[in-house]
Amino acid sequence: DSLLHVKPKKKGFKFTPIETTNKDELVLPKGFKYDVVAAYGDVINGKGDTFGFNNDFTLYFPIQNSNERGLLWVNHEYTNPLYVEGEKVNGKYAPTQIEKLLYNQGGSIIEVYYDKKVNKWKMDATSTYARRVTGLTSFALTGPAKGTKVVNGATSVQGTFANCSGGKTLWNTVLSCEENFEETANNAGLNQTHYGWVIEVDPFDPNFAVRKHTALGRFNHENASMGLAKDQRVVVYMGDDKKDACVYKFVSKDKYVPALGKANSRLLEEGNLYVADFKKGRWIALTIEAVQKAAAGKPELLEKFQTQGDVVTNCQEAALLLGGTPTDRPEDVEISPFDSSIFIAHTNNDKHGNLHGHITRFIEKKGDHGATEFEYEIFAAGGRQSGFSAPDNLTFDSNANLWTVTDISSSSLNQGAWTSFGNNGMFVIPTVGQDKGIAWQFAAAPMDAELTGPCFTPNEKTLFLSVQHPGEETEDINNPTSTWPHRKGEKMPRPAVVAITGFKF
């Protein structure tokens, strides 16, 4: 614990851990409750826009510093034809189906508030901020790939989809990550190179052009965690959720100037993109010069990699070419607010028999996020001993607990190697003290669901959480495997965002 520079609160955080379960319910410890704030299909504003499908990352933006009213950015990762667009006809989607497919992915900006009269969190559907960003919204491209041949000369592109996790910038905008974009791009007949980027949105300002920052690379982006180098350059850590894929960081060319506010967004347009070499503990810069040197004598590669735009667009290939270490599906990467170490959830990789995944921790040289050398260790391993399998999103509380949600695939839950884990869950893992590395289960998801995007309000009295894909294994729509959130008069399972209360930190 010698790296600590911020002391965890003394009070501690106590709860009675729950048992594993396969109940069709969001199960919480005694003394906690949840309110459903928005579910698929709910109207979010006066225009009649609706909440998208399979909500994932959530990010709370206080309105006037309030812990009881704010905007909530929510990612929508993918759709399920059974509930959204319907099945293909003759192997193809009709234009109206494609529209549904694209509309129900992307993100939602909703306004949420705590209604003291009934002690419940609710969505304010009269909000003037509430709006959708979807697979149909026009995006500006920034950075090295903008306007180049590899993206067909595009300077703006259609839509965002496959939005998994994300992060908050230092200037109070949201970064949202395009992850498994390939299938939707294919189904909608869209250019593959226009997706797989990190997007930026200002939830408060519809006039802030939504943008895709190509300098941060194109891959199967899970999340984006922003920090500062000691010399004030902006650093963004990123995972690439694919088997045998790498961990990345972007370091801006210029320094962060707080007084410039949202104009700091420009910092994400120019800088160095690095890939992690875990064996040598070094960050390798993905530059066109380095790639061309490594590609010498290989005409096919030299043809492919001619500009920095080609490098960021074909990032996975460039990373492996230069010596990036393939890892076991790096999902969330988060910077500890207590000691500047960085945690990565490697969810699993059945290619190597890593069925339960692990959480890695690495420490940059001298604790500087701008460093090009680091050390690393396995912080916690999934499995029966720890009680969790397939760690995915990560977040911290003020007691230096790492919270992780798990994502055992819905088709594997409660069987085979995953029998004893029950439904997916959420776990609390102390990162300091005598319980360091021990996972305590805080929540369990309804049938087939995964819990995603945990986000505390600043006072930590509320935790927003997505319940994604309940009932995903349903074959007969009249007999779904889950009916959560158990709305009166319907059997349909609906992905939904909940607000959990009952915290006493």
| Contact footprint for ligand FEO (CB under 6 A) | 77, 164, 179, 222, 241, 331, 392
Closest to 215 measured CA to CA, from 145, 167, 154, 168? 145
Of residues 368 through 397, those in contact with Ca ion by CB under 5 A are 392
Question: What tokens does 68 get?
Answer: 């009881």
Of 111 and 331, the one with the shorter C-beta distance to ligand FEO is: 331
Among 27, 164, 188, 380, which residue interacts with Ca ion (rule: CB under 5 A)? 164
Of 313 and 468, which has the nearer Cβ to ligand FEO?
Answer: 468
Task: Single out the residue of 41, 76, 19 nearest to residue 469, CA to CA.
Answer: 76
Site for Ca ion in 398-437 (CB under 5 A): 407
Cβ pair 78, 103 in contact under 8 A: no
As measured in angstroms, the least distance from the Cβ of 42 to ligand FEO is: 22
CB 405, min distance to Ca ion, A: 8
472 is a site residue for Ca ion (CB under 5 A): no
Residue 200 in contact with residue 213, Cβ under 8 Å? yes
Shortest reach from residue 390's CB to ligand FEO, in Å: 10
Shorter beta-carbon distance to ligand FEO: residue 154 or 247 = 247
- Least separation in angstroms between CB 288 and ligand FEO: 29
Residue 334 binds: one of ligand FEO, Ca ion, none (C-beta under 5 to 8 A by kind): none
What dihedral angle (degrees, nearest 10) is formed by the CA atoms of 49, 55, 61, 67?
110
**Number of chain residues interacting with Ca ion (CB under 5 A):** 3
User: Please, are residues 174 and 201 in contact by the beta-carbon 8 Å criterion?
Assistant: yes
CB 263 within 8 Å of CB 243: no
391 forms beta bridges with 406
Nearer CB in complex with Ca ion: 249/346: 346
| Sign of the torsion formed by the C-alpha atoms of 339, 276, 141 and 54 | negative
In terms of phi and psi (left: phi > 0; alpha: psi -120 to 50; beta: otherwise), the region of 486 is left
Question: Which partner from the list ligand FEO, Ca ion, none does 234 bind, CB cut-off 5 to 8 Å by kind?
Answer: none
| Residue 344 phi, psi (nearest 5) | -130, 130
Report the nearest approach of ligand FEO to the CB of residue 61 (Å): 22
Residue 24 interaction partner, one of Ca ion, ligand FEO, none, beta carbon < 5-8 Å per kind: none
Q: Which residues have C-beta within 8 Å of that of residue 260, sequence separation ≥ 6?
A: 171
Report, in Å, the least distance between residue 12 CB and ligand FEO: 31
| Binding at 179: pick from ligand FEO, Ca ion, none (beta carbon under 5-8 Å per type) | ligand FEO
**Residues in contact with Ca ion by the rule CB under 5 A:** 164, 392, 407
